[in-house]
Chains A and B, each alone.
Chain A
Amino acid sequence: MPRQVRAFVGFWYDFIVGDDWTVAVAVIAALALTYVVSTTSIPAWWILPAAIVILLPMSLWRVAHGSSGSSTDEK
Chain B
Amino acid sequence: MDVGSGALFLAVFLACMVEAVEALTIVLAAGTSRDWRSAILGVVTGVLVLGLIVAAVGPALTTLPLGALRLVVGGLLLIFGLQWLRKAILRASGLKALHDERSIFRAEVTAASAAPAGRRTVVGDWYSFTLSFKGVLLEGLEVAFIALTFGANQRNIPLAAFAAVAAVVIVAVVGIVVRAPLARVPENSMKFVVGVMLTSFGVFWGAEGAGARWPGADAALLVVIPAVALFALVLVGLLRRTLGAGPTAADSVAGVSR
Contacts and interface: CB of A to CB of B under 8 A. Distances in A.
A20 B86 contact: yes
The binding surface of chain B is classed by DSSP as helix
B210 A38 contact: yes
B87 A27 contact: no
A6 interface: no
Contacts of A75: 83-84, 87, 142, 191
A15 B141 CA distance: 9
A35 B231 contact: no
Interface in B33-85: 71, 74-76, 78-80, 82-85
A39 B212 CA distance: 9
Most chain A CB inside 10 Å of its own CB: which residue of B82, B89, B104: B82
Contacts of A64: 95, 239, 242
Contact-size category for A: 20 to 34
Interface in A22-75: 23-24, 27-28, 31-32, 34-35, 37-39, 43-45, 47-49, 52-53, 55-57, 59-60, 63-64, 69, 74-75
Given A31-B71, A64-B242, A38 B206 contact: no
A56 B99 contact: no
B95 A27 contact: no
B213 interface: yes
B213 A43 contact: yes
B214 interface: yes
B86 A60 contact: yes
B231 A53 contact: yes
The binding surface of chain A is classed by DSSP as helix
Contact of B75 (A28, A37, A45, A56): A28
Interface string B207-249: 1011111110000100010011001100100010010000000
Contacts of B211: 34-35, 38-39, 44
A63 B215 CA distance: 35
B22 interface: yes
Interface of B: 22, 71, 74-76, 78-80, 82-87, 89-90, 95-96, 99, 104, 141-142, 145, 191, 199, 203, 206-207, 209-215, 220, 224, 227-228, 231-232, 235, 239, 242
11 contacts: A27-B75, A34-B212, A35-B211, A43-B215, A44-B212, A45-B212, A48-B212, A49-B203, A55-B82, A60-B86, A75-B83
8 tightest CB-CB pairs across the interface, nearest first?
Answer: A38-B211, A34-B210, A44-B212, A18-B83, A35-B210, A45-B212, A48-B203, A24-B79
Given A16-B79, A44-B211, 11 more contacts: A16-B76, A31-B209, A34-B206, A44-B207, A44-B212, A52-B199, A52-B228, A59-B82, A60-B89, A60-B95, A75-B87
Interface of A: 15-18, 20, 23-24, 27-28, 31-32, 34-35, 37-39, 43-45, 47-49, 52-53, 55-57, 59-60, 63-64, 69, 74-75
